[in-house]
Structure 1
Amino acid sequence: MIYGITLIILGILAAPSLLLAKKPNAQELLDKITPYQGWIGLAFCFWGIWGVIQAVLNMSMLTTWPIWWITWLASSAVEAVLGFILGYGMISRLILSKNEEAKKKGEALLAKLAPMQGKLGLVGICVGAWVIVASILFY
Protein backbone atom coordinates (compact mmCIF):
# COMPACT_ATOMS: atom_id res chain seq x y z
CA MET A 1 0.00 0.00 0.00
CA ILE A 2 2.98 2.31 0.64
CA TYR A 3 4.02 1.88 -3.01
CA GLY A 4 0.57 3.05 -4.09
CA ILE A 5 0.56 6.15 -1.91
CA THR A 6 4.08 7.14 -2.87
CA LEU A 7 3.35 6.50 -6.53
CA ILE A 8 0.32 8.79 -6.42
CA ILE A 9 2.45 11.51 -4.78
CA LEU A 10 5.17 11.01 -7.37
CA GLY A 11 2.60 11.16 -10.18
CA ILE A 12 1.27 14.45 -8.84
CA LEU A 13 4.81 15.85 -8.68
CA ALA A 14 5.43 14.72 -12.26
CA ALA A 15 2.18 16.17 -13.60
CA PRO A 16 1.75 19.41 -11.65
CA SER A 17 -0.67 20.88 -14.21
CA LEU A 18 -3.29 18.42 -12.94
CA LEU A 19 -2.94 19.66 -9.40
CA LEU A 20 -2.84 23.30 -10.45
CA ALA A 21 -6.05 22.94 -12.44
CA LYS A 22 -7.91 21.54 -9.41
CA LYS A 23 -6.52 23.77 -6.65
CA PRO A 24 -5.46 27.35 -7.34
CA ASN A 25 -3.30 27.55 -4.19
CA ALA A 26 -1.40 24.36 -5.11
CA GLN A 27 1.37 26.41 -6.72
CA GLU A 28 2.52 27.52 -3.26
CA LEU A 29 2.82 23.89 -2.15
CA LEU A 30 4.69 22.93 -5.31
CA ASP A 31 7.06 25.87 -4.84
CA LYS A 32 7.88 24.58 -1.35
CA ILE A 33 8.62 21.08 -2.66
CA THR A 34 10.64 22.13 -5.73
CA PRO A 35 13.99 22.56 -3.91
CA TYR A 36 13.70 18.96 -2.69
CA GLN A 37 12.46 17.52 -5.97
CA GLY A 38 15.89 16.20 -6.93
CA TRP A 39 16.33 14.31 -3.69
CA ILE A 40 12.76 13.01 -3.83
CA GLY A 41 13.29 11.83 -7.41
CA LEU A 42 16.62 10.21 -6.56
CA ALA A 43 15.10 8.31 -3.64
CA PHE A 44 12.12 7.13 -5.70
CA CYS A 45 14.34 6.14 -8.62
CA PHE A 46 16.43 3.86 -6.41
CA TRP A 47 13.36 2.57 -4.58
CA GLY A 48 11.74 1.74 -7.93
CA ILE A 49 14.87 0.01 -9.22
CA TRP A 50 15.04 -1.98 -5.98
CA GLY A 51 11.38 -2.97 -6.44
CA VAL A 52 12.02 -4.15 -10.00
CA ILE A 53 14.99 -6.22 -8.80
CA GLN A 54 12.89 -7.72 -5.98
CA ALA A 55 10.03 -8.52 -8.36
CA VAL A 56 12.39 -10.29 -10.75
CA LEU A 57 14.01 -12.22 -7.90
CA ASN A 58 10.56 -13.28 -6.68
CA MET A 59 9.33 -14.35 -10.09
CA SER A 60 7.97 -17.55 -8.51
CA MET A 61 5.04 -15.42 -7.30
CA LEU A 62 3.97 -15.24 -10.93
CA THR A 63 2.59 -18.78 -10.70
CA THR A 64 0.58 -18.20 -7.52
CA TRP A 65 -0.21 -14.46 -7.51
CA PRO A 66 0.16 -13.28 -11.13
CA ILE A 67 -1.92 -10.09 -10.81
CA TRP A 68 -0.07 -9.03 -7.67
CA TRP A 69 3.33 -9.76 -9.23
CA ILE A 70 2.50 -7.80 -12.41
CA THR A 71 1.21 -4.94 -10.24
CA TRP A 72 4.42 -5.01 -8.20
CA LEU A 73 6.62 -4.95 -11.31
CA ALA A 74 4.58 -2.23 -13.05
CA SER A 75 4.46 0.03 -9.99
CA SER A 76 8.20 -0.35 -9.41
CA ALA A 77 9.01 0.38 -13.05
CA VAL A 78 6.80 3.48 -13.16
CA GLU A 79 8.29 4.66 -9.87
CA ALA A 80 11.84 4.21 -11.17
CA VAL A 81 11.10 6.11 -14.40
CA LEU A 82 9.29 8.99 -12.68
CA GLY A 83 12.02 9.15 -10.05
CA PHE A 84 14.64 9.32 -12.80
CA ILE A 85 12.83 12.15 -14.56
CA LEU A 86 12.28 14.19 -11.40
CA GLY A 87 15.69 13.50 -9.92
CA TYR A 88 17.82 13.67 -13.04
CA GLY A 89 19.64 16.80 -11.94
CA MET A 90 20.67 15.20 -8.67
CA ILE A 91 21.46 11.85 -10.31
CA SER A 92 23.61 13.62 -12.88
CA ARG A 93 25.48 15.62 -10.28
CA LEU A 94 26.09 12.78 -7.81
CA ILE A 95 26.45 9.70 -10.01
CA LEU A 96 26.76 10.43 -13.72
CA SER A 97 29.26 13.29 -13.45
CA LYS A 98 32.05 10.79 -12.82
CA ASN A 99 31.67 9.15 -16.24
CA GLU A 100 31.18 11.26 -19.35
CA GLU A 101 29.74 8.39 -21.42
CA ALA A 102 27.18 7.56 -18.73
CA LYS A 103 26.23 11.24 -18.54
CA LYS A 104 25.59 11.35 -22.30
CA LYS A 105 23.44 8.19 -22.11
CA GLY A 106 21.52 9.67 -19.18
CA GLU A 107 20.87 12.89 -21.11
CA ALA A 108 19.68 10.89 -24.12
CA LEU A 109 17.31 8.86 -21.94
CA LEU A 110 15.99 12.01 -20.29
CA ALA A 111 15.44 13.60 -23.70
CA LYS A 112 13.26 10.62 -24.68
CA LEU A 113 11.31 10.55 -21.39
CA ALA A 114 10.84 14.27 -20.68
CA PRO A 115 8.13 14.87 -23.31
CA MET A 116 6.09 12.07 -21.72
CA GLN A 117 6.42 13.38 -18.15
CA GLY A 118 2.80 14.49 -17.82
CA LYS A 119 1.44 11.25 -19.27
CA LEU A 120 3.76 9.22 -17.06
CA GLY A 121 2.52 11.24 -14.09
CA LEU A 122 -1.05 10.24 -14.96
CA VAL A 123 0.05 6.62 -15.35
CA GLY A 124 1.74 6.86 -11.96
CA ILE A 125 -1.44 8.14 -10.33
CA CYS A 126 -3.54 5.38 -11.95
CA VAL A 127 -1.07 2.62 -11.14
CA GLY A 128 -0.74 3.95 -7.59
CA ALA A 129 -4.51 3.81 -7.14
CA TRP A 130 -4.54 0.27 -8.54
CA VAL A 131 -1.74 -0.76 -6.15
CA ILE A 132 -3.85 0.39 -3.22
CA VAL A 133 -6.90 -1.51 -4.51
CA ALA A 134 -4.83 -4.60 -5.36
CA SER A 135 -3.15 -4.61 -1.95
CA ILE A 136 -6.57 -4.69 -0.34
CA LEU A 137 -7.91 -7.38 -2.71
CA PHE A 138 -4.93 -9.67 -3.21
CA TYR A 139 -2.51 -9.32 -0.35
Structure 2
Amino acid sequence: MIQRFDELISNEVKVPWSIRNLLPEVLVDGTMMEDGALLLEPSGILLPRILFSPPEGDAGTGMVPTNAVAVRFGNVSAGTSIFLMAVLEKPLKQAYTEIDMVATPDGKPVAMIHCNNCTQDMNAWISLLCEFAKMMGAVQNLIKYI
Protein backbone atom coordinates (compact mmCIF):
# COMPACT_ATOMS: atom_id res chain seq x y z
CA MET A 1 0.00 0.00 0.00
CA ILE A 2 2.87 2.35 0.77
CA GLN A 3 4.46 1.65 -2.61
CA ARG A 4 1.14 2.19 -4.39
CA PHE A 5 0.57 5.47 -2.52
CA ASP A 6 4.06 6.68 -3.46
CA GLU A 7 3.41 5.79 -7.11
CA LEU A 8 0.09 7.62 -7.16
CA ILE A 9 1.36 10.72 -5.41
CA SER A 10 4.55 10.93 -7.47
CA ASN A 11 2.57 10.66 -10.73
CA GLU A 12 -0.03 13.22 -9.72
CA VAL A 13 1.77 15.78 -7.60
CA LYS A 14 5.49 15.16 -8.20
CA VAL A 15 6.56 15.49 -4.58
CA PRO A 16 10.21 14.90 -3.62
CA TRP A 17 9.41 12.70 -0.62
CA SER A 18 8.08 9.24 0.19
CA ILE A 19 5.23 8.50 2.58
CA ARG A 20 7.71 6.20 4.37
CA ASN A 21 9.58 9.30 5.57
CA LEU A 22 6.41 10.71 7.17
CA LEU A 23 5.22 7.61 9.03
CA PRO A 24 6.43 6.85 12.57
CA GLU A 25 8.86 4.02 13.21
CA VAL A 26 7.10 0.71 13.83
CA LEU A 27 8.00 -0.64 17.26
CA VAL A 28 8.09 -4.39 17.73
CA ASP A 29 6.31 -5.97 20.68
CA GLY A 30 8.45 -7.99 23.01
CA THR A 31 9.05 -9.11 26.54
CA MET A 32 10.12 -7.19 29.61
CA MET A 33 13.77 -7.76 30.46
CA GLU A 34 14.90 -8.28 34.08
CA ASP A 35 16.58 -4.88 34.36
CA GLY A 36 13.49 -3.16 32.93
CA ALA A 37 11.19 -4.95 35.38
CA LEU A 38 13.41 -3.93 38.30
CA LEU A 39 13.55 -0.34 37.04
CA LEU A 40 9.74 -0.15 37.01
CA GLU A 41 9.19 -2.10 40.23
CA PRO A 42 12.36 -2.44 42.38
CA SER A 43 10.96 -4.94 44.90
CA GLY A 44 10.82 -7.68 42.27
CA ILE A 45 7.02 -8.17 42.16
CA LEU A 46 6.94 -7.37 38.42
CA LEU A 47 8.34 -10.45 36.73
CA PRO A 48 10.68 -10.34 33.75
CA ARG A 49 9.54 -11.93 30.47
CA ILE A 50 6.02 -10.48 30.83
CA LEU A 51 4.63 -9.60 27.40
CA PHE A 52 4.32 -5.93 26.65
CA SER A 53 3.40 -3.68 23.79
CA PRO A 54 4.85 -0.25 23.12
CA PRO A 55 2.40 2.62 23.70
CA GLU A 56 0.50 3.40 20.56
CA GLY A 57 -2.62 5.18 21.71
CA ASP A 58 -5.05 2.49 20.59
CA ALA A 59 -6.35 0.26 23.37
CA GLY A 60 -7.42 -2.61 21.12
CA THR A 61 -4.03 -3.14 19.54
CA GLY A 62 -2.49 -3.78 22.96
CA MET A 63 -4.74 -6.80 23.44
CA VAL A 64 -3.18 -8.98 20.74
CA PRO A 65 0.54 -8.84 21.65
CA THR A 66 -0.23 -9.38 25.34
CA ASN A 67 -2.48 -12.33 24.42
CA ALA A 68 -5.39 -10.66 26.19
CA VAL A 69 -7.96 -11.75 23.59
CA ALA A 70 -9.23 -14.93 25.23
CA VAL A 71 -12.31 -15.11 27.43
CA ARG A 72 -11.51 -14.20 31.06
CA PHE A 73 -8.30 -12.43 30.04
CA GLY A 74 -7.66 -8.74 29.95
CA ASN A 75 -5.11 -6.00 30.02
CA VAL A 76 -4.51 -2.73 31.82
CA SER A 77 -2.91 0.35 30.35
CA ALA A 78 -1.72 3.12 32.64
CA GLY A 79 -0.40 6.39 31.31
CA THR A 80 -1.91 9.85 31.10
CA SER A 81 -5.21 7.98 31.31
CA ILE A 82 -5.85 4.46 32.57
CA PHE A 83 -8.14 1.70 31.41
CA LEU A 84 -8.96 -1.96 31.88
CA MET A 85 -10.13 -4.20 29.07
CA ALA A 86 -11.64 -7.56 30.06
CA VAL A 87 -12.79 -10.20 27.57
CA LEU A 88 -16.23 -11.42 28.64
CA GLU A 89 -17.74 -14.88 28.42
CA LYS A 90 -20.99 -13.38 27.10
CA PRO A 91 -22.40 -9.91 26.40
CA LEU A 92 -23.62 -7.86 29.35
CA LYS A 93 -27.35 -8.14 30.07
CA GLN A 94 -27.79 -4.39 30.26
CA ALA A 95 -25.94 -1.19 29.42
CA TYR A 96 -23.77 0.56 32.01
CA THR A 97 -22.71 4.17 31.46
CA GLU A 98 -19.34 3.43 33.12
CA ILE A 99 -18.47 0.59 30.72
CA ASP A 100 -17.67 0.92 27.03
CA MET A 101 -18.28 -2.21 25.03
CA VAL A 102 -15.71 -3.06 22.37
CA ALA A 103 -14.65 -6.37 20.82
CA THR A 104 -11.60 -8.56 20.31
CA PRO A 105 -10.33 -8.89 16.73
CA ASP A 106 -12.46 -12.03 16.38
CA GLY A 107 -15.59 -10.44 17.85
CA LYS A 108 -15.66 -11.52 21.52
CA PRO A 109 -17.27 -8.90 23.80
CA VAL A 110 -14.85 -6.74 25.78
CA ALA A 111 -15.74 -4.47 28.68
CA MET A 112 -13.58 -1.35 28.78
CA ILE A 113 -13.45 0.80 31.89
CA HIS A 114 -11.62 4.06 31.35
CA CYS A 115 -10.52 6.95 33.54
CA ASN A 116 -9.19 10.12 31.96
CA ASN A 117 -6.68 10.84 34.71
CA CYS A 118 -3.85 8.65 35.90
CA THR A 119 -0.20 9.60 35.75
CA GLN A 120 -1.02 13.19 34.85
CA ASP A 121 -2.65 13.72 38.25
CA MET A 122 0.01 11.64 40.01
CA ASN A 123 2.76 13.70 38.38
CA ALA A 124 1.13 16.93 39.55
CA TRP A 125 0.84 15.68 43.15
CA ILE A 126 4.40 14.32 43.16
CA SER A 127 5.69 17.64 41.84
CA LEU A 128 3.82 19.50 44.57
CA LEU A 129 5.13 17.17 47.28
CA CYS A 130 8.68 17.41 45.92
CA GLU A 131 8.51 21.19 45.97
CA PHE A 132 7.23 21.09 49.57
CA ALA A 133 10.00 18.68 50.63
CA LYS A 134 12.63 20.93 49.08
CA MET A 135 11.21 23.94 50.93
CA MET A 136 11.34 21.96 54.19
CA GLY A 137 15.01 21.06 53.65
CA ALA A 138 14.44 17.38 53.00
CA VAL A 139 16.36 17.39 49.70
CA GLN A 140 18.89 14.71 50.77
CA ASN A 141 16.07 12.13 51.16
CA LEU A 142 14.08 13.24 48.13
CA ILE A 143 13.69 10.99 45.12
CA LYS A 144 14.07 13.22 42.13
CA TYR A 145 10.96 12.97 39.95
CA ILE A 146 11.29 16.28 38.17
TM over 0.5: no
The one of the two structures with greater contact order (alpha-carbon pairs below 8 A, sep at least 6) is 1
Q: When you count strand as a share of all residues, which structure comes out higher?
A: 2
Q: TM-score, normalised by structure 1?
A: 0.25
Q: TM-score, normalised by structure 2?
A: 0.24
Q: When you count helix as a share of all residues, which structure comes out higher?
A: 1
